[in-house]
Amino acid sequence: MERKKTSGAGRMILEKRQRSPLLPDFNLFSLIQRNPGTTAIGRSFCLASGLLYQLTALIKDGLNVREGGERVKLHFLGTAAAEGFPAMFCRCEHCMKARQAGGRDIRTRSSVIIDDILKVDFPPDTLHHVLRDGIDLGLVEDLFITHTHLDHLRAEDLAMRLPVYAHGLDHPLRIYGHDAAVRKCREAFGRPDASRIRLSRIVPFQTVDTGTAKVTALPANHDPDETCLLFFIEKDGKRLFYGHDTGLLPEETWAWLEQTTLDAVILDCTNGNLPFTGGHLNIEAVIGIRNRLRDKGVLAKDATVIATHFSHNIGLLYNDLTNIFDPEQILVAYDGMILNV
């Protein structure tokens, strides 16, 4: 189906201006209109401030504009490990600090939406994401599931796309996952009408052509009891690697990745400065993977590398993480972050 898209840089600037936490949307012009008593000096001040605000936003956003090609919007809905940050029941020093700090130190269970129509994972915080970021989930056409752990697939909530719970939908949601994910979905909502949900089992190295993107499932190194997937996503000429949850990448995944180029790489940083475990990475491993991708010529010029999926156990707040990752030119994801690559 054709969907109307605002093109390139204009779209990026619009979105970043609407959502930037540093530049809240504050319409000075409507303030003037609501206050007919405003003096000429006041009106001039407001107009000048408004113009300055618009200009600042354009300059800030302009810094992110790249040369050539359609941009792909990556919207990070959640950036935490299973327990969230602060963790639900946790009263440790770091969770207490995060509760107090708020903002970028509040992390929910991980998911990303690409160009508003392609989603990876369906965590239990999805309703919160929809409400927090004003997302129209009815637009999403394709949902790729990495694995069935509770923070990545809340299958029961997908039933909210069925009749009675959802109206006005004009296309089915196509869901793709390995066999455990398909089984979990079937147990949650059976075999619904294909106009609402279509479920497909995919296997490692299979490429799905959604019509808007080509998505290849790659093996993760996460849970020995389940085939967990990572995704290579090619959309509008951009190539992205969705690389969590995983420990050190399997060599067969490396072999596949080394045949391509990547414009954006999203990596698992669950363990922060702690030693990495079998199923997750830490800061050192994230930097190591970035270095290998760079050394093998996989990273495109100006490629963006992003660390995400942080556990509360690492005890690092957003500023601690940026202090570590900024010198490495690796971005630290936060909830609500929008990138145009």
Ligand X SMILES: O=c1ccn([C@@H]2O[C@@H]3COP(=O)(O)O[C@H]3[C@H]2O)c(=O)[nH]1
Query: What are phi and psi for residue 95, nearest 5 degrees?
Result: -65, -35
Closest CB 87 distance from ligand X, rounded Å: 8
DSSP string covering 276-323: P-TT---HHHHHHHHHHHHHTT-EEEEEEEEEE-B-GGG---HHHHHH
**Which listed range, 50-58, 77-85, 182-190, 199-207, lies at the site for ligand X (CB under 6 A)?**
77-85
Closest CB 313 distance from ligand X, rounded Å: 4
Q: Which is nearer to ligand X, 227 or 313 (CB)?
A: 313
Cα atoms in the Cβ-side hemisphere of radius 13 Å centred on 42: 10
Of these, 111, 126, 253, 270, which contacts ligand X (CB under 6 A)? 270
Closest CB 340 distance from ligand X, rounded Å: 27
- Parallel/antiparallel/unpaired status of strands 229-235 and 173-177: unpaired
User: Please, which of residues 142-161 interact with ligand X by CB under 6 A?
Assistant: 151
Q: Which is nearer to ligand X, 172 or 250 (CB)?
A: 250
Of these, 74, 81, 293, 306, which contacts ligand X (CB under 6 A)? 81
Applying CB under 6 A, does 111 fall inside the site for ligand X?
no
Query: Per-residue x/- mask for ligand X, residues 228 to 267, rule CB under 6 A?
Result: -----------------x----------------------
**Which listed range, 48-56, 81-89, 227-235, 261-269, lies at the site for ligand X (CB under 6 A)?**
81-89
Cα atoms in the Cβ-side hemisphere of radius 13 Å centred on 154: 13
Q: Which is nearer to ligand X, 153 or 197 (CB)?
A: 153
Of these, 195, 277, 323, 329, which contacts ligand X (CB under 6 A)? 277
Question: What are the start-end ranges of the E strands in 20-132?
Answer: 73-78, 111-114, 118-120
Applying CB under 6 A, does 44 fall inside the site for ligand X?
no
Closest CB 70 distance from ligand X, rounded Å: 33
Applying CB under 6 A, does 88 fall inside the site for ligand X?
no
3 state DSSP class of 325 = helix
Applying CB under 6 A, does 311 fall inside the site for ligand X?
yes
Place of tokens 């990545």: 152
**Which listed range, 47-55, 75-83, 153-161, 189-197, lies at the site for ligand X (CB under 6 A)?**
75-83
Cα atoms in the Cβ-side hemisphere of radius 13 Å centred on 245: 33
Applying CB under 6 A, does 125 fall inside the site for ligand X?
no
Applying CB under 6 A, does 308 fall inside the site for ligand X?
no
**Which listed range, 80-88, 96-104, 159-167, 177-185, lies at the site for ligand X (CB under 6 A)?**
80-88
Output the six-digit token pair for 205. Answer: 């190295």
Closest CB 81 distance from ligand X, rounded Å: 3
The residue type at 136 = D
Closest CA to 64 of 337, 262, 289: 337
Q: CA 289, CA 244: separation in Å to the nearest integer?
A: 13
Output the six-digit token pair for 281. Answer: 């990475």
Q: How far apart are the first and last CA of the chain?
A: 24
Question: What are the start-end ranges of the E strands in the chain?
Answer: 73-78, 111-114, 118-120, 142-144, 173-177, 197-201, 207-209, 214-219, 229-235, 238-243, 262-268, 299-308, 331-332, 338-340
Q: Which is nearer to ligand X, 23 or 274 (CB)?
A: 274
Q: CA 179, CA 227: separation in Å to the nearest integer?
A: 8
List of residues contacting ligand X (CB under 6 A): 81-83, 151, 245, 270, 277, 311, 313
